[in-house]
């Protein structure tokens, strides 16, 4: 396994944990402000690894953008949940799933392209 594969596997794991945390909060779990901020694990990966080692790859900017969209959507869903609109917040998980699939497809595309080099 080369360094890129390890880096992208780490991002994939962080992303899956991120999505699980969203679901957890929307089903009564504790909201961790730091986790959903710029100091959270996915954002930190982009800062420490993604934009350092892979800055020249167009998918990195797109991945970061999709993650930012996911985060904005998650914060909106948390606000709905906290205002008592729990069903609406749960319905919003569909958009999280859609964006998550988009994120993972982009990551697989980048990983596959770099694996062939």
pLDDT at 116 over 90: no
* Apex 97 CA angle, 15 and 26, nearest 5: 85
56 φψ region: left (φ > 0), alpha (ψ -120 to 50), beta (else): alpha
Averaged pLDDT, 28-36: 95
Phi/psi of residue 77, nearest 5 degrees: -65, -40
Residue numbers of the domain that contains 100: 3-115
- pLDDT classification of 35: cutoffs 50, 70, 90: very high
Which tens digits make up the pLDDT trace of 62-84? 999 999 999 999 999 999 999 99
**Number of domains the chain contains:** 1
């Amino acid at each position: 396994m080369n360094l890129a594969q390890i880096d992208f596997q780490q991002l994939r794991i962080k992303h899956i944990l991120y999505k699980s945390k969203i679901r957890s909060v929307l089903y009564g779990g504790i909201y961790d402000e730091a986790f959903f901020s710029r100091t959270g694990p996915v954002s930190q990966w982009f800062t420490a690894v993604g934009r350092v080692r892979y800055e020249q790859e167009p998918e990195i900017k797109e991945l970061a953008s999709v993650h930012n969209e996911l985060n904005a959507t998650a914060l909106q869903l948390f606000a709905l949940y906290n205002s008592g609109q729990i069903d609406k917040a749960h319905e919003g998980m569909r958009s999280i799933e859609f964006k998550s699939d988009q994120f993972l497809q982009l990551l697989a595309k980048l990983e596959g392209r770099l694996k062939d080099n």
